[in-house]
Structure 1
Amino acid sequence: MTKYLVVEVSLVLILGVSRSSTNKENSPNTITEESAVSETVETSPKPTKAVASVGQKLYSENGCLVCHQLNTKLVGPSIKDIAAAYSGNKAGLIAYLKGEGEAIVDPSQAALMQPQIAITKALPADELEAMVDYILSIK
């Protein structure tokens, strides 16, 4: 249990640092989390530009990238695994991110996602939908 608490506290701290860094000006030589995401997407199957520009930005800004990489399982499942599990079930993913649905990708790690649910639950409906469209566009 202590191990999970340490992981959760670490994630909250990382999220706080990543969210505060989006408010600072970046020097030309600084690599941001957002640019790292863009580089990842460029080497992978591309979602539509409209979805990528809004949904990918929201995904990055809200700290999702800290735990969910495109192809690699980190703390949570990869974006591709999430997209595959919720394929054809956009409403299910939206419900989960609103705290109204059950985890279907890796239920054993659902407790680790709870601090993030508070963030996704507070998003306006159009932003949450754009983020979900981005996730589901990854094949």
Structure 2
Amino acid sequence: MKTILKSLTLAIALILISCGGDKKTDKFGNPVSDGKENVEATKPEVSEFPLAEKGKEIFEGKGTCATCHKLDIKLVGPSIIDIAKIYKEKNANMVTFLKGEGEPIVDPSQYEVMKANFALTKTFSEEELESLEQYMYSQVK
């Protein structure tokens, strides 16, 4: 009787283990992905800069910022990385500057060139300006 009970317990355990889901393995017993993993589990955490994507669109489009600013090199204006680092270091407000209400702190020699763009940036909504700021900060690693 004990032998039958042990065999039955072993059989049930093997059935439960083998029916543990639709997990596939290769011939060596390694798990194989079927591409249908839980997407929720692989989603990135909520970004520190939720408006950055919108800011990128404005930067490259309507804002025409990309004409003078590049990610890591000085073109006409300072690079995005330099701007973001300096504003962060000085705890300054980029939005205030883009409204034409702040002093130039990154490259004052280029202020006159940037000043011409205030006619455009002053028409942006607060959210658009914050989006630009978040995009700039999101580029600094």
Structure 1 and Structure 2 fold alike (TM over 0.5): yes
Cα deviation 1:2-47 (Å, max 9, x = unaligned): xxxxxxxxxxxxxxxxxxxxxxxxxxxxxxxxxxxxxxxxxxxxx7
In structure 2, the partner of 1:59 is: 59
Query: What's the CA shift for 1:115?
Result: 1.6
> Match of 1:105, SS?
coil
Alignment partners' CA distance in 2, 1:102 and 1:130: 20
Alignment partners' CA distance in 2, 1:52 and 1:125: 14
Alignment partners' CA distance in 2, 1:78 and 1:99: 19
135 and 70 in structure 1: CA distance in 2 versus 1, 3 angstrom threshold = same
Query: What's the CA shift for 1:118?
Result: 1.3
Are 1:120 and 2:121 matched, yes or no? yes
In structure 2, the partner of 1:26 is: none
Alignment partners' CA distance in 2, 1:48 and 1:69: 22
In structure 1, the partner of 2:130 is: 129
C-alpha contact 1:90 1:132 (8 A) present in aligned 2 = no
Structure 1 regions of 5+ residues with no counterpart? 1-46
In structure 1, the partner of 2:13 is: none
Describe how 1:36-115 pairs up with structure 2 within 5 A: 50-61=50-61, 62-87=63-88, 92-115=93-116
Query: Residue 58 of structure 1 aligns to which amino acid in structure 2?
Result: I
C-alpha contact 2:51 2:130 (8 A) present in aligned 1 = no
Q: What is the aligned length? A: 93
Query: What's the CA shift for 1:52?
Result: 3.4
Structure showing the higher helix proportion among its residues: 1
Please, what TM-score do these two structures have when normalized by structure 2? 0.60
